[in-house]
């Protein structure tokens, strides 16, 4: 795999030693992810901003077929920054790399169900590859998300769904709902089918994964 990782210069960045360590962390896990997911090219850029997920101090975004953008809040305390770099960023790399691979195999998510399955796969892949961090948006209680399966069933083919509402709780739905539903469906598919891996599911359609999960959607 060809890997290009660049940490963009910033007036509010990290000290040189931490920058070098961050680069090593990103490169190490990007290469592992690329090998597992059979990715040919991966471009990763890192910039520093407070525009991040409040709970984690970072954010990741897979753009196009080969580009991952990572944001880190440089104003966090020293110990928190260490945790972000050492424990959270590897999970971010695995999560976003899974998005890159899934688009390669199944194309860009076009409706709500595809987006939910995509996020579930990325979360579970990150969990399997990196045990030091479990994303808060991936933790779920079945009894709490069960009532929302009906609304998902009614809106699963919606191509104009509100991403902010379903995934970030900007409307009337709970924060992280889309992620939690995706995790629940993907875990259910794995539990029902011994030997089924996230790597295999990454190449499957959303409908195939739902069928394997045994959940009525």
- pLDDT for the residue numbered 11: 75
Percent of the chain with pLDDT over 70: 100
Across the chain, mean pLDDT equals 96
Q: Look at residue 191 and give its three-state secondary structure.
A: helix
Mean pLDDT of 36-61: 97
Percent of the chain with pLDDT over 90: 95
**Has residue 170 got a pLDDT over 90?**
yes
**Has residue 188 got a pLDDT over 90?**
yes
Sorted by where each begins, the domain ranges of the chain are 2-106, 112-213
Q: Look at residue 23 and give its three-state secondary structure.
A: helix
**pLDDT tens, position by position, 54-82:** 999 999 999 989 999 999 999 999 999 99
**pLDDT tens, position by position, 103-143:** 999 999 999 999 999 999 999 999 999 999 999 999 999 99
- pLDDT for the residue numbered 16: 85
**pTM for the complete prediction?**
0.96
- The DSSP code for 217 is -
Banded pLDDT at 14 (limits 50, 70, 90):
confident
């Amino acid at each position: 795999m060809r890997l290009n990782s660049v940490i963009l210069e910033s007036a509010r960045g990290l000290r040189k030693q931490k920058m070098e360590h961050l680069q090593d962390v990103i490169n190490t896990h990007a290469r592992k992810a690329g090998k597992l997911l059979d990715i040919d090219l991966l471009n990763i850029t890192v910039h520093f901003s407070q525009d991040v997920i409040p709970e984690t101090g970072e954010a990741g975004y897979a753009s196009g077929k080969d580009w991952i953008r990572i944001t880190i809040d440089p104003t966090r305390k020293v110990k928190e920054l260490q945790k972000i770099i050492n424990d959270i960023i590897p999970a971010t790399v695995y999560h976003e790399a899974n998005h890159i691979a899934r688009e390669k195999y199944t194309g860009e998510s076009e409706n709500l169900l595809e987006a939910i399955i995509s996020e579930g796969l990325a979360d579970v892949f990150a969990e399997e590859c990196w045990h030091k961090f479990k994303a808060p948006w991936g933790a779920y209680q079945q009894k709490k998300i069960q009532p929302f399966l009906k609304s998902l069933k009614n809106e699963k083919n919606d191509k104009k769904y509100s991403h902010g509402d379903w995934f970030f709780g900007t409307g009337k739905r709970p924060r992280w709902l889309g992620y939690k539903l995706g995790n629940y469906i993907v875990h259910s598919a794995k539990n029902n089918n011994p030997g089924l891996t996230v790597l295999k599911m990454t190449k499957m359609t959303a409908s195939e994964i739902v069928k394997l999960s045994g959940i009525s959607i």
